[in-house]
């Protein structure tokens, strides 16, 4: 593994006088800037995040180590979120220059190239950017060819951008791998689940579980849900949650099943638990479903406050923006006292009739809620409840 210790990793923003080996790194100050940058990132203040991450890097005095590499990953993410595509690519390129056996950096840079291609109006430039993204994806799987999460991430990104042929090619490469470990059986089983080859998925996931991969239970739950056996899916998730009570994915999956079954109070309980355990910055779909759970339980003020935070973090989610406007009608935000009173009466009437609507099987959503083209749901659900405008993210 070749690692080049280069100040270019800091994107050439440090003064020439800051030469490696001169002085000592102030880790406390560096960490303070890092944490402030993360806070700004979570708040959607991407420019502020970039500034603080750069200040954290400046504290390194030209020395490159694991702390600086970690900060660069955050900085690249903030640059991407801020729409600074070229800058994000430059940062990931520097990470690759530092460690050219880093599959994650290739994957992330490739993903930025794909997003840039999708936004490029010039067809020739768009194809060039897309080709660069595919080259990076190929390099990533060349370096870490047994990482099924990598293949799945590539598939989901390409599929979300309408490049289904390329997406399926990467999944085919994943299926050509020989399984030896429990994790490999689990990964390949999940790939077959995505391809809706349920028989092969069931066999591989059972083998993974027998070999000690408890995570296979989560995919088995998805499998049984897809096959229409919701009760078995619930049983598997309950078994898994008893062993791993703070697992966010298990709680979230269980909550979605409860929402679709009209069990709103139970769904809200699980979603609130999951949200409290989730790592900040990773809970977009979870936050959206928690908002919908508050709505289904008639807690419109809580839904409104959380949605106000959500649309700030994800301004590209147009459906959420529409839902935000809908929530304003339920909370009376921006209305006169008379208009608020009327809105409250309407909300009470809607809540009173939700139980009847749920009994007719109308609780699930029509489809996916996307954000900036990066989120894809796993399967379709039934028609949405008329009192709730948004769709449960499956």
Domain membership flag for residue 215: no
Domain membership flag for residue 235: no
Contact between 224 and 212 under an 8 Å Cβ cutoff? The reply is: no
**Residues of 370-382 as b/e, b for ≥16 C-beta within 10 angstroms?**
bbeebbebeeebe
Domain membership flag for residue 162: no
Domain membership flag for residue 54: yes
Domain membership flag for residue 232: no
Contact between 87 and 62 under an 8 Å Cβ cutoff? The reply is: no
Contact between 376 and 121 under an 8 Å Cβ cutoff? The reply is: no
Under 8 Å CB-to-CB from 360, ≥6 apart: which residues?
none
- In whole angstroms, give the CA distance from residue 120 to residue 367: 27
**Partners of 99 in the beta sheet?**
3
Which pLDDT value is given to residue 352?
54
Domain membership flag for residue 66: yes
Three-state SS sequence of the chain: CCECCCHHHHCCCCCCCCCCCCCCCCHHHHHHHHHHHHHHHHHCCHHHHHHHHHHHHHCCCCCCCHHHHHHHHHHHHHHHHCCCHHHHHHHHHHHHHHECCCHHHHHHHHHHHHHHHHHCCCHHHHHHHHHHHHHHHHHHHHHCCCCHHHHHHHHHHHHHCCCHHHHHHHHHHHHCCCCCCHHHHHHHHHHHHHCCCHHHHHHHHHHHHHCCCCCHHHHHHHHHHHCCCHHHHHHHHHHHHHHCCCCHHHHHHHHHHHHHCCCHHHHHHHHHHHHHHCCCCCCHHHHHHHHHHHHHCCCHHHHHHHHHHHHHHCCCCHHHHHHHHHHHHHHCCCCCHHHHHHHHHHHHHHHHHHHHHHHCCCCCCCCCCCCCCCCCCCCCCCCCCCCCCCCCCC
CA dihedral 295, 299, 302, 306 (to 10 degrees): -10
Q: How many structural domains is the chain composed of?
A: 1
Nearest in space to 321 (alpha carbons), one of 310, 331, 330 = 310
Domain membership flag for residue 86: yes
Cα atoms in the 13 Å half-sphere on the side-chain side of 247:
17
Full residue range of the structural domain in which residue 18 is found? 1-101
Which pLDDT value is given to residue 330?
83
Q: Which CATH number does the domain housing residue 70 bear?
A: 1.25.40.10
Which pLDDT value is given to residue 242?
93
Domain membership flag for residue 36: yes
Phi, psi of 232 (to 5 degrees): -65, -35
pLDDT in tens, the chain (394 residues): 433 323 333 333 332 223 233 445 678 899 999 999 999 998 889 999 999 999 999 988 777 889 999 999 999 999 999 999 999 999 999 999 999 999 999 999 999 999 999 999 999 999 999 999 999 999 999 999 999 999 999 999 999 999 999 999 999 999 999 999 999 999 999 999 999 999 999 999 999 999 999 999 999 999 999 999 999 999 999 999 999 999 999 999 999 999 999 999 999 999 999 999 988 766 889 999 999 999 999 999 999 999 998 998 888 888 999 999 999 888 766 454 455 556 556 655 554 554 454 444 443 333 343 334 343 333 333 333 334 445 666 6
- In whole angstroms, give the CA distance from residue 112 to residue 83: 10
Which pLDDT value is given to residue 269?
96
Contact between 209 and 217 under an 8 Å Cβ cutoff? The reply is: yes
In Å, how far are 3, 89, 144, 388 from 102, measured between CA atoms? Answer: 10, 15, 9, 44
């Amino acid at each position: 593994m070749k690692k080049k210790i280069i100040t270019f990793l800091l994107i050439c923003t440090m003064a020439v006088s800051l030469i490696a080996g001169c002085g000592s790194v102030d880790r406390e100050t560096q960490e303070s800037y890092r944490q402030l940058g993360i806070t700004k990132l979570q708040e959607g203040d991407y420019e502020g995040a970039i500034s603080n991450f750069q200040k954290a890097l400046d504290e390194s005095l030209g020395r490159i180590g694991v702390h600086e590499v970690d900060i660069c990953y955050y900085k690249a993410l903030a640059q991407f979120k801020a729409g600074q595509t070229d800058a994000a690519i430059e940062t990931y390129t520097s990470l690759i220059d530092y460690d050219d056996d880093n599959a994650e950096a290739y994957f992330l840079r490739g993903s930025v190239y794909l997003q840039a291609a999708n936004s490029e109006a010039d067809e020739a430039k768009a194809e060039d950017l897309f080709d660069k993204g595919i080259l990076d994806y190929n390099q990533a799987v060349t370096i870490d060819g047994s990482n099924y999460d990598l293949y799945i991430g590539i598939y989901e990104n390409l599929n979300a951008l309408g490049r289904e042929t390329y997406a399926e090619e990467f999944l085919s490469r994943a299926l050509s791998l020989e399984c030896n470990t429990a994790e490999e059986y689990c990964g390949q089983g999940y790939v077959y689940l995505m391809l809706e080859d349920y028989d092969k998925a069931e066999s591989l996931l059972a083998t993974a579980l027998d070999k000690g991969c408890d995570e296979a239970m989560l995919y088995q739950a998805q499998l049984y849900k897809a096959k229409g056996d919701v009760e078995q899916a619930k049983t598997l998730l309950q078994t898994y949650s008893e062993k791993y009570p703070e697992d966010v994915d298990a709680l979230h999956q269980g909550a979605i099943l409860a929402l679709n079954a009209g069990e709103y109070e139970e769904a809200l309980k699980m979603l609130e638990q999951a949200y409290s355990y989730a790592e900040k910055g990773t809970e977009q779909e979870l936050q959206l479903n928690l908002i919908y759970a508050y709505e289904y339980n008639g807690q419109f003020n809580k839904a409104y406050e959380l949605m106000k935070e959500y649309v700030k973090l994800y301004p590209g989610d147009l459906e959420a923006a529409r839902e935000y406007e809908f929530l304003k009608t339920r909370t009376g935000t921006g209305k006169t006292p008379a208009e608020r009173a009327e809105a409250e009466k309407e909300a009470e009437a809607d809540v009173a009739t939700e139980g009847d609507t749920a009994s007719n099987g109308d609780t699930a959503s029509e489809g996916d809620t996307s954000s900036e083209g990066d989120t894809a749901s796993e399967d379709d659900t039934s028609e949405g409840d008329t009192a709730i405008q948004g769709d449960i993210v499956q």
